[in-house]
Structure 1
Amino acid sequence: MSVFDLPLQLMRLSKRYLDFSNQIAVDFEWHRRQGGLGLGPLSARLIEQTRLLKSSAICAEDYYHLGLYRGELSFEQKRSFLGSYQKWRYFDRINPPVYDVLARDKALFHIFADSHGIPTPETLATTAPGTKPYFGLRLDTAGAVRQFLQDHHGEDLFFKPADGSLGEGALAVGPDGSSTRAWIELPSQTATDVEGILQHLTPGGKLGRFLVQRRLRPHQLFADIVPHVCPTVRIMTLCTERGVEFLGAAVRIGSGRSATDNVAGGGLIAPITMRTGLLQRAYCLDDGIPKPTDVHPLTGASLPRVETPEWGKIQTLVAESAQRFNFLPCIGWDIGITDGGPVVIEINTRPRCVSVQTAAPHGLLQGPLGRELAKTAGRLGNGLSIDPRHAQSDPQPA
């Protein structure tokens, strides 16, 4: 150890404790807001969640989204859930950060997926100003975009931010039904036109970077629940010496108010039994608390508890794709359930793990992921303090 190593380590350790203290202050506000829901004393929740923050990266948002206030769970069970606090600390110990660009840059992802024959949504063009990567046609000026839209007037299209996340900025359009040359925004069914779409693609007057894709039509099972919004299956995988291991899965169903199915935008989560593909009871995160529901809150449609459509094909698609992406051992896959079969929409190398842990009796640290993270656990490792009993035991199959 050189004379400079110790001061550097002390600086890093000080910053980590400062970050931890700042997070506790943010978490306190979350606990205070949930005070009227009958979840027990604020002090008890704060103390328990702070202990989980240190052991399993559970911030207050995770604590409530995952229902870890539940009295029927022991503290040891709660420790097996994996949170999102500084998730780069632990995911970057598994996934080399140099490849994270494939998850952040949607155009690069499509270039890689296309070269490996992985089915993805049909991408027609990229609005790519400057020298950034693109897939399909390159539309680098507003004039080029306007001409493209005129050439595809009234078609089913989906505009996806190439650098975005959580579905922010996405736009879906389709024919208005009265004319094949007119558009409506979906699912709101608001009339729009070339100039309206172009305005969406040029926030602040500057052309943004969007993938222009064929709009995915949902499988009929889900089209009967929320028309015009394609649901996705979030599946987490881990490549180990035993091959591709499935860590958990859930279907995400759109709120019906936006073009995407993101839970952050009010969508629903329906956990999936991995062995059978059975859709379990759905949950909505009402006020940050998972609440079970048997009907869609906007459309009133019944939420079926049947096998996930084409579950075998989904598993095969994910397993084969994970082998092609094996340089990223742990991936959160978003698989579109379309009327033409499953497609890979995107990957996540630092995924939030809420979907696949919602309403579960145990978390992702129980099993293969826990064992992998335990190899680098510690204050100067990934920042987690993993219970070895969880890391060494596998969850019982449902």
Structure 2
Amino acid sequence: MQSPANRGFNHRQAMTEEWFRTRVLPRVSCVRFLPYQVRQIRDEHLPAMLRDEDKKSMARIAGDLVTVSVRWRCLPFHYFRYGGYRREVSTELACSYLPETALFHRLLPRVNRDTIDLDDKTSCKKILASAGIPQPAMIASGDHRAGMTSDGEPVPLPAVLDRASGHGRVVVKPSRYSSGGSGVTITRPGESAFDLPAYARRWGTWLVEQHVTQHSDLDVLNPYGLNTFRVITLLREGAAEVLYVMLKLGGAESTTDNSAGGGMQIRVHSDGRLDRHGYDRYLNAHTRHPVSSVPFAEHRISRMTEVRELAERCARLFPQVPFIGWDIALTPGGPVVVEGNSSPSLAHIQRTHGGIAPGLVPALRSVMDRPII
């Protein structure tokens, strides 16, 4: 068998980079993550607890906090995020909720590797297109200097949207380093004064894609934005498995489906049935969307088998990233992939599926620290 060096592979450099990425960067990012956690607990989670009339006594909460902290070896911010202070939540159940610190700073760095092809939305779309994966058509992409059409033709920034004038509404979004719907803009070329050069100076790399029409099963729940499914897949030994599926509904005054804009998430069963309750970012339970009279419990989404199968197809295209959250829209013609996420929102999953640590942690550990050669 040839050595890595004989195959033209710089093994020492690869191992050094891997050590830095999995051992050093998580510690640095964990420290930087702390102010965000503090802001959230101060502005959202503690006020929600204080308003809750069904919370435990302070003595029980204090005991829970000690147990959860010891169990996960981290500050228990997630105890408040997932309502561990409520009377019906036992200490054991509170411990079943996976903290963001454990997932994003301990597990995922050793599970997902070489995520650039997935997290760069332009690269991801090209990989998906090469495999014939249905997705919103890409019109152009670029940076603050120039753009390029999907056919590879250079185009000045001011002229990009002119090329999109026949596509109706289009979506402009950052290609890298954005989350939670940040930077996503829906515009209609020729009818709005959207300034793409200014947008590119602010967000860096970007892409423009066609806006898709959603299926009537989703439109009846919330017609004011594109509502998508977040499908979580795990790839083990070449076999892709769907772990969790939730529907993300946008807020009443939002064009995106993110919880930061007033949206909510609902668990979707494999047969397309919705759970009885959807949950907003404060864990408030809703039986229907604010703009709809359709109860979640009586609603079924068609073509869910196709949605799940599409996510599994996509997962096999990124073997270096075993754990992925796919955003999939359902159109009248079937499901289309909007994008993939190497760090899918843990809050979305646990709001809809409860504490997932007993099942997810062993699954992730089974694909940790795979050989890089």
TM-score category by the smaller chain?
0.7 to 0.9
Choose the corresponding residue for 2:241, options 242, 245, 251.
245
Match of 1:371? 362
Deviations 1:187-240 (A, max 9, x none): xxxxxx2xx2126x6249668533211111111122123224221111111122
Does the Cα contact within 8 Å between 1:62 and 1:354 map onto a contact in 2?
no
Does the Cα contact within 8 Å between 1:233 and 1:251 map onto a contact in 2?
yes
TM-aligned CA distance change 1:105 to 1:37, over 3 Å: same
Amino acid at match of 2:363: E
TM-aligned CA distance change 1:206 to 1:137, over 3 Å: farther
Choose the corresponding residue for 1:71, options 87, 104, 113.
87
TM-aligned CA distance change 1:20 to 1:296, over 3 Å: closer
Match of 2:3? none
Which stretch has the larger CA shift, 331-340 or 65-74? 65-74
Deviations 1:128-148 (A, max 9, x none): 334899855566643323543
CA distance in 2, matches of 1:211, 1:12: 28
SS of the aligned residue for 2:208 comes to strand
Q: What is the CA-CA distance between 1:55 and the residue it aligns to?
A: 3.7
CA distance in 2, matches of 1:17, 1:124: 37
Choose the corresponding residue for 2:310, options 312, 317, 330.
317
Match of 2:128? 113
CA distance in 2, matches of 1:142, 1:14: 39
Choose the corresponding residue for 2:206, options 207, 210, 235.
210
CA distance in 1, matches of 2:220, 2:30: 50
Deviations 1:157-196 (A, max 9, x none): 121221222111212235xxxxxx964xxxxxxxxx2xx2
1:281 pairs with 2:281? no
Which stretch has the larger CA shift, 321-330 or 206-215? 206-215
Match of 1:82? 98
Match of 2:187? 173
Identity value in percent: 23
Deviations 1:365-394 (A, max 9, x none): 222x321345699xxx9xxxxxxxxxxxxx
Match of 1:270? 266
Q: What is the CA-CA distance between 1:280 and the residue it aligns to?
A: 0.7
Amino acid at match of 1:92: P
Deviations 1:233-285 (A, max 9, x none): 111111224832222111111113222111222112111123x3311123232
Does the Cα contact within 8 Å between 1:57 and 1:83 map onto a contact in 2?
no
TM-aligned CA distance change 1:223 to 1:376, over 3 Å: closer
Amino acid at match of 2:253: R
SS of the aligned residue for 1:289 comes to coil
Amino acid at match of 2:84: L
CA distance in 2, matches of 1:216, 1:47: 50
Does the Cα contact within 8 Å between 1:130 and 1:140 map onto a contact in 2?
no
Amino acid at match of 1:346: E
Choose the corresponding residue for 1:198, options 195, 198, 202.
195
CA distance in 1, matches of 2:147, 2:107: 29
Choose the corresponding residue for 1:351, options 344, 350, 358.
344
- Aligned pair count reads 341
Match of 1:124? 139
Amino acid at match of 2:287: D
CA distance in 2, matches of 1:168, 1:65: 22
TM-aligned CA distance change 1:31 to 1:363, over 3 Å: closer
Q: What is the CA-CA distance between 1:18 and the residue it aligns to?
A: 7.0
Query: For structure 2, which runs of at least 5 residues remain unmatched after alignment?
Result: 1-19
Q: What is the CA-CA distance between 1:115 and the residue it aligns to?
A: 1.4
CA distance in 2, matches of 1:130, 1:350: 29
Amino acid at match of 2:180: L
SS of the aligned residue for 1:280 comes to strand
Does the Cα contact within 8 Å between 1:126 and 1:134 map onto a contact in 2?
yes
Match of 2:251? 255
Does the Cα contact within 8 Å between 1:58 and 1:84 map onto a contact in 2?
no
TM-aligned CA distance change 1:235 to 1:359, over 3 Å: closer
TM-aligned CA distance change 1:116 to 1:284, over 3 Å: same
Higher helix share: 2
Deviations 1:31-77 (A, max 9, x none): 54332323235575466346535645887664344333333333223
SS of the aligned residue for 1:358 comes to helix
CA distance in 2, matches of 1:242, 1:208: 35
